[in-house]
Amino acid sequence: MTCYMGFQSLLTEALYLPQKSSVPTRRLYRFSKGEQAMQSNRPWLASYTKQISRRKFLSATAAGAGAAALIACGGGGDGTQTTQTLTVDPSGVRKPGNVVYEKDNWKLADESKQAVDGGTLRIRNDLDLTVSFDWYLANTGVVEEFNDRGYEYLTRGNLNPTFGPITVPGLDPGTIEGQKPVPGLAEGWEVSADGLTWTFTMRKGVKFHNIPPVNGRVMDINDWRQTAEKYQAVGFNRSAIAGVLDHWEWPDATHWVWKLKAPYAFLINNMNNKDFAIKLGPKELVQNDQMRGTTQIGTGPMVVEKIQPSIDWTFTRHEGYWDGKPHIERWHYPLIPEIANAYSQFVAKNIVRHNPSSRDVLTIRGDVPEALLSANQLSWFGLSRGIFGRYESDTSPWKDARVRIAIHKTVDQESIVRFRSNADAFRQAGVEVEIQPMTHASRDPSYWLDPTKGELGADGDNYKFDLAAAKQMVSAAGFPDGIDIPMYMLLGSRNDEQNLPLDFFKKATGVLNIEEHWLQMQPFYDQVQQTGNFKGFQPYTPAQSSFGAAQFDKILRENYHTNGKAPSYPTPELDALIMKQLQESDAERRSAIYKDIQRYLAKNFNAVPSVWPFGGFSFQWLWVHNSAQQINKHWLDADTPNRSG
């Protein structure tokens, strides 16, 4: 999986601009050093590569060695070094032993003509399902992922629950054309010239799963209407739609009309987003709250056969699937929470894929040299960032952009990400880990400006680690001895993402004198991350990407607009740019606005970019063909072990 660091937030707030939070201020909790130390405790299996200690990493970087010197030797305590050479296949061809990049999957040929029907695919599941299946009430990842196997949206998603990004052979997903939404349960849609009316046309002949009481009947407009109206009343994420929707209309048996309060350019992008869109089900389940929590009856390619808590999930194929009967007959998801057991099951060829930590990949490679090693695609859309609280923001030293930039320049994010990703060891072995600098914008290639390539001009230097320059900037702002600043962190998780930058902040003598506040989850979300009701700096908000192409818009309105839920130094000029992009329906013109926003933020650092993302790796047995396409296009090789078992 892509190592995109961090937990999802507890709640997805209203997509449209909310008013300033009315959450009451809470007392700031402080914890002992012993309690704070819980964060850095991380169990590692003895059979895996020894983890480089944080102290050793920091000592090396302080001495100028950086992460490279440590990682090149694998970080082992005995100083030994194991070197191996890997060869990357630039064509992305999936052959035993090859090393490929998932980002090149769109170049792969369609193998549908060679498909072999049937078989059982076994995939590790590390999340137990012990709660209600109800798609309306789902507020955890495991329920959402489970339901995404059976239910569908108006448009098709760009991820599948097994192999990640979905691509169309020959279509580069990095282009504007490659990012256009694909029809799903709606066979098409139209939008009015003023952007206020969207009309979706129902796909004809879509059948539900053949499970009582629905029994495989054809979906109709009453299923859409009852599902939508129930969602509007009780859906967990209904506030997102409520923020943009004025009302719905149902003019006939095949059309669903959305009337918006104001133009919202990303409506169509969000129509398959689990944090916004509506999973469409049969009216029989809509009307039966109890059954909806224990029974999944959708229209998707996979049909629930059996769910055994703490044991496994089993799905069969939807024989009447509207996009064509799936080639694979059955999917088996045994519950394997322990990483060591998952590794053993992969080596024994009982599961198709294994996702180790980056520091273990080269060691494991020696055990399974015939497996495909795939560099997982790095998401473009997530943005980790640090925000400033609203309290005393106009009188604190960090009201000055130079101070905000200086805070960022005290942390060597590049060394941190190279350490965490094991990048230098991979380079020695002949493989480049995909790493991207974290700026203020999503790394969508259609508009992202790379500061390392001069695309932000002189302001691109503001993203560089430079402690001496940071000291000069705070001094020029009137603080020759540095500044005192409270910092707020979440206790008990986000270990490396919080602790490694924090260690750099602590070493920034003459720039920062920090006061640490470690908060339990609920006060942290209520008082800090979700509301901005604090004084000081919260260094790390995780890089979520669930809104896909609309993620940048979502973050701009949450953390940069005056009416955002946790705004970090909003300005009228920035507000105007944010509203301009929100209403621009033309993708190319919107990209130009995004470039203007990046130039503004590079100069002003209203918020502070945080942890750099890196791409992880997975090992795969070459049993699944067309794995980068929709699930019903996948097929199992005739030589798949225990194929019919």
Q: Dump pLDDT digits (tens) for 337-380.
A: 999 999 999 999 999 999 998 889 998 998 999 999 998 888 78
Q: Is the pLDDT of residue 8 over 50?
A: no
Query: Please, what are the domains in the chain?
Result: 33-38+46-75+380-609 (3.10.105.10), 130-300 (3.90.76.10)
Residues above pLDDT 90, as percent of the chain: 60
Q: Dump pLDDT digits (tens) for 281-307.
A: 999 999 999 999 999 999 999 999 999
pLDDT class of 158 with cuts at 50, 70, 90: low
555 and 384 in contact (C-beta within 8 Å)? no
Residue that the structure tokens 């503004």 belong to: 600
- β-pairing verdict for 330-334 and 120-122: parallel
| DSSP assignment string, 342-389 | HHHHHHTTSSSEE---GGGHHHHHTT-TTSEEEEPPPPSS---EEEE-
Instruction: Report how far residue 514's alpha carbon sits from residue 502's, in angstroms, rounded to the nearest whole number.
Output: 9
Q: Is the pLDDT of residue 13 over 90?
A: no
Query: What local confidence, expressed as pLDDT, does residue 103 receive?
Result: 83
pLDDT class of 319 with cuts at 50, 70, 90: very high
Average pLDDT, whole number, for the chain? Answer: 84
For residue 489, the SS3 value is strand
Query: What local confidence, expressed as pLDDT, does residue 67 receive?
Result: 38
Q: Is the pLDDT of residue 644 over 50?
A: yes
538 and 389 in contact (C-beta within 8 Å)? yes
For residue 515, the SS3 value is strand
Exposure b/e, 401-434, CB count within 10 A at least 16 = b: bbbbbbbbbbbbbbbbbbbbbbbbbbebbebebb
Query: What local confidence, expressed as pLDDT, does residue 376 receive?
Result: 84
Burial classification of residue 97, based on how many CB atoms lie within 10 Å of its CB (0-12 exposed, 13-18 middle, 19 or more buried): middle
Residue that the structure tokens 């003023």 belong to: 194
pLDDT class of 120 with cuts at 50, 70, 90: very high
Report the residue count for the chain. 645
462 and 448 in contact (C-beta within 8 Å)? no
Query: What local confidence, expressed as pLDDT, does residue 371 receive?
Result: 95
Q: Is the pLDDT of residue 436 over 70?
A: yes
Q: Is the pLDDT of residue 227 over 70?
A: yes
User: Model pTM?
Assistant: 0.75
Burial classification of residue 21, based on how many CB atoms lie within 10 Å of its CB (0-12 exposed, 13-18 middle, 19 or more buried): middle
Neighbours of 290 (CB within 10 A): 9
Give which of 25, 171, 163, 176 is closest to 526, Cα–Cα: 25
